[in-house]
Each structure stands twice: as structure tokens, then as C-alpha cells.
Structure 1
């Protein structure tokens, strides 16, 4: 039996109604602890959730700041659970993402992105830094 306490608490903290669908998807992020694509999620929940439900749930989580977008080296869009750094008064995700070349997992690292001075007239909206290499699990 799965303990839904953590997912229920997170949903409540983000002012989201706790539903079985939201719990299932949120618990995938909690269990996996790395960035997931919509396809990854659909594979896990294909027996009881359809593609539209997964899409709508991800959009809701994204709009509320529970998850954030992660771009990988293939241009694929993935989603990662926000952490305490993301939940500052001004919601941002200016941290480094790391993709392992062996297992393919993408993780958020608590490393701030260095400030980059842009030329006059350019205004950054979002900064994405992806480092590729071998993660600690695969390096053992």
C-alpha cells in the first residue's frame, strides 16, 4: 500500500485539490527523483490514465509551480519536481541540470547559473544550463 501523505501535503501546499490522478503522477516524480518526459509518465500510468489527463495534470503542476521544464540535449521537454530553491518568493529555475550519458537520467543540481551579461537590448526570460557526463550512480 502506497502512503499518499507526502503527495497530499505537496498538493495542499500548492493549493491543488488532491485527486487520485494528481497523486499518481506526483508520486512518480517523488519516486523517480529525476526529470520525466510526458512519454515516460504515460508509460507508467497507461493502464489507468490517458494522454490528455497526463497532459492536463502536467500543465496544472507547471502553472502552479510544482514542477518546471527541463530541456535536454535532444531538444526533448522533460519535467522535474521543484525543490526549495524553486519555491522562493519569485519562482525561478536558474540552476544547472545534469544528464548522465550512461543511464540517460536528467537531474537538477543545486548549482546556480552564473550571471551572464547580455548585450544591450537583450532581456533573458529563462536560462537553461545542461551539463552532460556520468552521474554518481553510474560512476560506481
Structure 2
């Protein structure tokens, strides 16, 4: 597993440091997007600045995409198609008002093959409501 992560980071022109490998591994096991504080809580002994720099590097290299949620930024791993120039996370980011989780709804997306005379590098689609799991518990 560690070697796979190292290779993914190298493929994205990112040096595979121990912290980067740990953060990548942690994010890959998460269904929902996470804030810096949530990630920091998982790595109790790690320096907040190091985690923040790791996330910013990952964002610059197309490894994670950030989701702005009110005043909080959350992070989720990108698909392999993202890179330093273009993030292809053209899908809905959904925030559940009950469980407070932000998830990617990839079945609701903006078409990537639009015929335009301009270049779109990033689209941010964000919705708030009640997720499937919380809807079931309400019924």
C-alpha cells in the first residue's frame, strides 16, 4: 500500500514524504470530505502547519480538491484525472444539515465536454440538504 501511495505522489510530481504518505492514506479511507481540524485530530502528534502545507501541496498538484463550506474548507481526494493545471471535480458536493458530512455526488455532474470558446479550469457545485442515510432515519 505504501509503495502504491509513493508512486501516486511521484506521478503527481510530489515528493513522497512520510507525512504526505500518511495524509494520503488517511484521506483515501474517508467517504466524506474533511476539514483541516478533523484531519489534525486524527494525527494528534503532528504539527498543524505541516498538515496544512501537505493539503495545500496536494491541492496544487491535483491530488485533493477543496470544498468551501461556509467558512470552513474541506478536502477530498481527487480522481487520477486531476493535475496541476486542471481539477476535474465537476460534480456536486453535498452537505447534510443533519449529520454535517460533505460528500461527493459524482452521479450529479457538469459536462466536461462543453463546446466553448473559453477554458474552464474548475467548477464548484455545492448543495445543502439531507443525505440518504439521514432521510431514512427520519422516516
Q: Cα offset for 1:99?
A: 1.1
Superposition pairs for residues 52-131 of structure 1, below 5 Å? 52-72=49-69, 74-84=70-80, 86=82, 90-110=86-106, 111-113=108-110, 126-131=122-127
Kindly tell me: are residues 28 and 113 of structure 1, through their superposed partners in 2, closer, same or farther at Cα, counting changes over 3 Å?
same
Aligned residue pairs total 128
Q: Cα offset for 1:126?
A: 4.6
Task: Give TM-score scaled by structure 1 length.
Answer: 0.75
| 5+ long unaligned stretches in structure 2 | 113-118
Greater displacement, 101-110 / 61-70? 101-110
Q: Distance in 1 between matches of 2:4 and 2:120?
A: 35
Kindly tell me: are residues 25 and 66 of structure 1, through their superposed partners in 2, closer, same or farther at Cα, counting changes over 3 Å?
same
Q: Which residue of 1 aligns with 2:115?
A: none
Task: Give TM-score scaled by structure 2 length.
Answer: 0.76
Alpha-carbon RMSD:
2.7
